[in-house]
Amino acid sequence: MTGKRILLIVGGGIAAYKSLDLVRRLRERGMSVRAVLTQAGAEFVTPLSLASLTGQEVHQELFSLTAEARMGHIELSRDADLVVIAPATADLLAKAAQGLANDLASTLLLATDKRVLAAPSMNLRMWLHPATRRNVETLRGDGMLFVGPGDGAMACGEFGPGRMSEPLEIVAAVEAALKGDTTIPLPGAKPRPLAGRRVIVTSGPTHEPIDPVRYIANRSSGKQGHAIAEAAAQAGAEVVLVSGPVTVPDPAGVKTVHVETAREMLQAVEAALPADVYVGAAAVADWRVGSEVVEKLKKGPSGPPSLGLVENPDILATVARHAKRPGLVVGFAAETQKVIDHAQAKLMRKACDLIVANDVSPATGVMGGDANTVHLVSKAGVETWPTLPKPEVAQKLIAHLAALIHAKEGGA
């Protein structure tokens, strides 16, 4: 959890003193904490205590010109991985359930794009009151997470439910919440089935030098691999695209690493591990010239030079047998004959989970073209898709991979 950022809203409850210890426990685990103190909260703990323990300025006012100039309230609501309310007063829960935004804390709760974890704390009659019950029900339905409250002796002398969870219980709930994707998509936004996942895609050809000016290449354009990287990013994944020399632009929202040779591509892929998914769409040269030539080869009386070829590293097989093997390893098979037979053999030989096979005979126009006809070959069988534009193949493939991941995890 090192490096995770928590926005802690401290409400006006008697348990506010525990939020000071909570800050320490979170920071011990490498998280940074930015605190927001309600006006009532400041009756219980001082901004100075919170500032000293968080090591950061404490935010209290919605209408503060100086604070807005430093960090606006919208930015403040987004600049965290998780929002935590501790103590969450009956009043804060009521405001959040109603969507009120009449002070800094309630405005942040309405404006944030991150999950909110509430640790309620109140007198048992306040907690059991039908109004609070309704509010909690509404907030759960809206996606708010809750930890506690527990049963116990209260500061007011009564006994029952309403006691705020202990700091370490809240820390455990924070850690659990941070394991998933904590970003809330905009209502009506496209689903992001790969949110929180890391995907590595290779794309394009590789260039294997013959001498300083000549190289061995192939006709791969990178259009399919780049479209897959872009589709994965649109599905919410963090994407590293390792691209050979291509003329297509780097996709938006993707970290693109440019390489030339197969060996450089392998190095970049290994550096990008670990990942949840690997899609090897690049047309990696099987061979390279064995002996490195420093000077340009010249015509001469001895006739054409013979290029002694040696095998390149097998990137797909290396990733599939890697100590940091991604949960899903997908290869591409570009064939000109017996497409499915060769893909099935490749699936076994390379120990991957899925082969996307396509016919790259010149007549198909696939290499460098804008459309593709693919067959998905796995242990489960062969699925043939109709001819589609490459971006559509990419989107369908990403949806298929997301479904495979979720099925795998659901069944585990």
Ligand X SMILES: Cc1cc2nc3c(=O)[nH]c(=O)nc-3n(C[C@H](O)[C@H](O)[C@H](O)COP(=O)(O)O)c2cc1C
Q: How many CA atoms lie within 13 A of 157 on its CB side?
A: 0
C-alpha 184: how far from its chain's center?
13
Task: Give the nearest distance from C-beta 63 to ligand X in angstroms.
Answer: 15
Stretch that binds ligand X, among 17-25, 74-82, 89-97, 241-249 (CB under 6 A): 89-97
Position among 7, 12, 182, 194 found at the interface with ligand X (CB under 6 A): 12
Position among 8, 84, 92, 329 found at the interface with ligand X (CB under 6 A): 92
Q: Which is nearer to ligand X, 20 or 201 (CB)?
A: 20
Question: Any contact of residue 220 with ligand X (CB under 6 A)?
Answer: no
Give the type of residue at 380: A
Among the listed residues 71, 153, 155, 156, the single catalytic one is 156
Instruction: Give me 216's structure tokens.
Output: 């061995």
Q: Which is nearer to ligand X, 106 or 312 (CB)?
A: 106
Residue 349 CA to residue 294 CA, distance in Å, equals 36
Task: Give the nearest distance from C-beta 141 to ligand X in angstroms.
Answer: 21
Burial level of 295, CB count in 10 A (0-12/13-18/19+)? exposed
3-state secondary structure at position 298: coil
Position among 7, 33, 41, 53 found at the interface with ligand X (CB under 6 A): 41
Position among 90, 239, 241, 320 found at the interface with ligand X (CB under 6 A): 90
Q: Which is nearer to ligand X, 4 or 18 (CB)?
A: 18
Total residues binding ligand X (CB under 6 A): 16
Characterize the bridge pairing of strands 32-37 and 116-120. Answer: unpaired
For residue 340, what are the β-bridge partners?
A: none
Peptide bond into 251 cis (omega under 30): no
Instruction: Give me 69's structure tokens.
Output: 């100039």
Q: Which is nearer to ligand X, 134 or 296 (CB)?
A: 134
Question: 253-272: which residues touch ligand X (CB under 6 A)?
Answer: none
Q: Which is nearer to ligand X, 43 or 137 (CB)?
A: 43
Instruction: Give me 189's structure tokens.
Output: 């936004």
Question: Any contact of residue 40 with ligand X (CB under 6 A)?
Answer: yes
Is there a catalytic annotation at residue 156?
yes
H/E run at residue 334: strand 328-335
Stretch that binds ligand X, among 7-15, 78-86, 218-226, 247-255 (CB under 6 A): 7-15
Determine the length of the chain.
Answer: 412
Q: Which is nearer to ligand X, 129 or 263 (CB)?
A: 129
Question: Any contact of residue 89 with ligand X (CB under 6 A)?
Answer: yes
Residue 120 CA to residue 295 CA, distance in Å, equals 74
H/E run at residue 36: strand 32-37
Question: Any contact of residue 122 with ligand X (CB under 6 A)?
Answer: yes
Binding site for ligand X (CB under 6 A): 11-15, 38, 40-41, 87, 89-92, 121-122, 126
Which residues are catalytically annotated? 156
